[in-house]
A = this chain, B = another copy of it.
Amino acid sequence: MRRTPNKRPVPASEASAAFELLRQESLNSLVQREIERRILAGELMPGAKLNEALLAAEMGISRGPVREAFRALEQAGLLYTEKNRGVFVRQVSLEEADEIFEVRAALEAQIGRLAAARIVPEQLQRLRSVIKRMHAASRGRDADAYFPLNIEFHEALAEVAGNRALAANYRRVVNELNLYRRETLARNADIIPVSTQEHEAIVDAMAKGDAALAERLLYEHVMNSRARLHLALESAPARRTKAAREAA
């Protein structure tokens, strides 16, 4: 590191690690990951404003790298910029979410098709273990436990498909979907048993090596998720969120 008036010396044990880190990562990529983490963790809600100077000060750096990270995250669809007014966490409307679900369905269908053709017993076993834990969460009606399992399941599928470009596109789309009202999305315990059942059918199709079936089941699974979201919105109406109020 060079010219670091605000950083005290670091113990040698950390020093080499920090050295290696800074050797290949520049500040803007660190900032980018940190902001992304805060958004996905829910610390930054959709519609929230990000202050350049404040963020830079928090991280002990200047505004340049922060601005670069902003541009990358804007392109990734997580932020949007209003000139001379600032950058904000993107808000995804229900209409946009509906559209993104259709993109996700297409990508997941392709993931299913490829994964069914390439899956090996070891990977199949891992998927079944996830489903086993899903059943447990389902019996306990434990939505907080189910949510990460759902992510793990689809993430594992994306890996099995063995197509890095496809997996990267899938991840970006899912990230965008998470910008739709984080707090109400898929936190409904009622849908867990149905969703688990669909997951199980998908794995069964893959065990049989039935690519066409896996493709169709995954497509329908995504579109069913969308339908379940709409259903949940109708039954639990108009609990307006902070982000939604700020938008209005």
Contact = CB atoms under 8 A, between A and B. Distances in A.
B25 A100 contact: no
B110 A102 contact: yes
Q: What DSSP secondary structure best describes chain A's contact surface?
A: helix
A99 B163 contact: yes
Contact of A99 (B25, B64, B83, B164): B164
A110 B105 contact: yes
Contacts of A169: 103, 169, 173
Interface stretch (A71-79, A131-139, A181-189, A235-243): A71-79
Copies of this chain, count: 2
Contacts of A83: 23-26
Interface in A153-207: 163-166, 169, 173, 176
Interface string A9-26: 000000000000001111
A217 interface: no
A221 to B, nearest CB: 15
A68 interface: yes
Contact of A96 (B23, B25, B71, B165): B165
A214 interface: no
Contacts of A165: 96, 99-100, 102-103, 176
B107 A103 contact: yes
A194 B99 CA distance: 32
A53 to B, nearest CB: 15
A69 interface: yes
Contacts of A71: 28, 68-69, 71-72, 75
Given A68-B70, A73-B75, 18 more contacts: A24-B83, A64-B64, A67-B68, A71-B71, A71-B72, A72-B72, A75-B76, A96-B165, A99-B165, A99-B166, A102-B114, A102-B163, A103-B163, A103-B166, A103-B169, A106-B107, A109-B109, A169-B173
17 contacts: A25-B83, A68-B70, A69-B71, A73-B75, A75-B75, A96-B164, A99-B163, A99-B166, A102-B163, A102-B165, A102-B166, A103-B169, A106-B106, A106-B110, A107-B107, A109-B109, A169-B169
